[in-house]
A and B are shown apart, each in its own frame.
Chain A
């Protein structure tokens, strides 16, 4: 048996000592070469300048003196990610001894009652992205749990729909298949009928999300889940066999980045396809686009029929 909890995670993080809020960023996700804090250009950073006042014109340091790197430790499955500096961690805590099996969080996961807490959702081109999920190209995420599949709408998909007014979920026990509508959304942007990415039987639906549709935008990969399916025999293995249909990890991330650029291709202008640099996508497309353009986006990005 392990002598420390398998969900105990150590991570090197970086943060700015000068910034009023201590925002920890995983060190291995920083682009070291390009990050301002790691280059002599840090003297142009407004936080650095505020802190240093008049003494900002030159510096002997190659990297920002306010940059702090530290090792932290946290529980990967506990719903709230509480990071503790590794140096302060008490070695006799249950996580580092074989008593971890008594921990309530570990126990629930071991029994299969809950899925491991979602991986860190990171920001990709303005959208939350959870790299532990599989993504169908119709912007449905899929999470295998004990032979079943939990599903929901990804952050890009819910953004395209805008404020969701109504969700029509399939009935429990209903058999669904690709090419046939499984979910229906009515939103400020229009209506969307989403087909199932796989063959299977619906075993559970999230009524809470139907009652409070804002859960999808607030927590698309968590509380905003939509349904759980028992896939037909052989269907589950398609997740790993059909990498082009069911994207995962880095491939999914690259795909999401391309999807953002594809918006420009779909929304052709009078002068053809244009591309731009800068800015973030508007939170609400209703004013920015005509109804026909919004319908086109929903049809192109969400109503994909292939399984």
Chain B
């Protein structure tokens, strides 16, 4: 039997994501940057299993680990979108996290929403921020590290203002690396 060829970038919806964003529009936008076709999947992962009562946040890395068990054979990469607030142990929160040169990444909607900052909802802004963060995390899965150029989507953002300030595309040097790494198998050394 012919073996499945990994060629799709999967978008994994964990929880009620579609109530918050128009996922088709996000997918369309990503298609322009990453040539690979996308597939959208609803996840069975229950975020509550990864809730940390002390931090009142959800453990991002543990969710990534769980996602690894659900990666379809034809998935080149898989990016999860989740409504809850994520953290890793050494950081106060994360907008997203991904395996460096690996398969999975995740983005949280919680702090991308204006409502988190007691501001009126703004759907366009939310989706713009989400696309930047998905590109950023996908970049990590393709072996890209943080970029010192603020205009590059791979630049680091500590706050939501930084997310808004950074560009939405890859700089020339990150783009070159991305193109080179897209041809490499998962597990590449960055």
Nearest CB in chain A to that of B66: its residue: A271
- B58 contacts A by Cβ under 8 Å: no
Asked if A111 lies at the interface with its beta carbon under 8 angstroms from chain B, I say no
Q: B127 within 8 Å of A by Cβ?
A: no
B: interface residue count bin: 35 or more
Which stretch (B6-14, B20-28, B33-41, B87-95) binds chain A? B87-95
Judging by beta carbons under 8 Å apart, are A34 and B151 in contact?
yes
Residues of A within 8 A of B150 (CB): 31, 33-34
Separation of A257 and B111 alpha carbons in the complex (Å): 24
Structural contact, B91 and A273, CB atoms closer than 8 A? no
In the bound complex, do residue A277 and residue B94 qualify as a contact, i.e. CB atoms below 8 Å apart? Answer: yes
A41 at the interface (CB under 8 A from B): yes
Q: How far is A34 from B171 in the complex, measured between Cα atoms in Å?
A: 14
Residue in B closest to A288 when the chains form the complex, CB atoms: B89
Among A44, A261, A274, find the residue whose CB has the most chain B CB atoms closer than 10 A. A274
- A281 at the A/B interface (Cβ < 8 Å)? yes
Q: Taking the complex as formed, is B173 at the interface, i.e. its CB lies under 8 A from any CB of chain A?
A: no
Which residues of chain B come closer than 8 Å to A125, judged between CB atoms? 156, 158
Q: Is the CB of B164 within 8 A of A280?
A: no
How far apart sit A35 and B151, CA to CA, in the bound complex (Å)? 11
Residues of B within 8 Å of A31, CB to CB, are 150, 165
Number of A interface residues in the complex (CB < 8 A)? 34
- Asked whether A277 lies within 8 Å of B92 as measured between CB atoms, the reply is no
Query: A271-B68, A271-B99 are known contacts. Are A41 and B164 too (CB-CB below 8 A)?
Result: yes
B156 close to A277 (CB less than 8 A): yes
Contacts of B88 in A (CB 8 A): 274, 276, 279
B166 CB within 8 Å of chain A: yes
- B181 at the binding interface (Cβ < 8 Å): no
Whether A277 touches B136, Cβ cut-off 8 Å, given contacts A36-B164, A271-B65, is yes
Q: Contact check: which of A41, A264, A280 meets B92 at CB < 8 Å? A: A280
Asked whether A279 lies within 8 Å of B99 as measured between CB atoms, the reply is: no
The 7 closest A-B pairs by CB, nearest first: A278-B95, A279-B91, A34-B165, A276-B97, A288-B89, A276-B94, A279-B93
Residues of A whose CB lies within 8 Å of any CB of B are 31, 33-36, 41, 44, 46, 49, 125-126, 254, 257, 261, 263-264, 267, 269-282, 285, 288-289
Residues of B with Cβ closer than 8 Å to A?
A: 60-61, 64-65, 68, 87-102, 104, 111, 114, 117, 119, 122, 125, 133, 136-137, 140, 145-146, 148, 150-151, 156-159, 161, 163-167
Given contacts A33-B150, A275-B140, 11 further A-B contacts (CB under 8 A): A34-B165, A46-B117, A125-B158, A261-B146, A269-B61, A272-B100, A273-B100, A279-B91, A281-B92, A282-B89, A288-B89
14 contacts between A and B (CB under 8 A): A34-B150, A36-B161, A44-B122, A44-B125, A257-B146, A271-B104, A272-B102, A274-B100, A276-B91, A276-B97, A276-B98, A277-B95, A277-B157, A278-B94
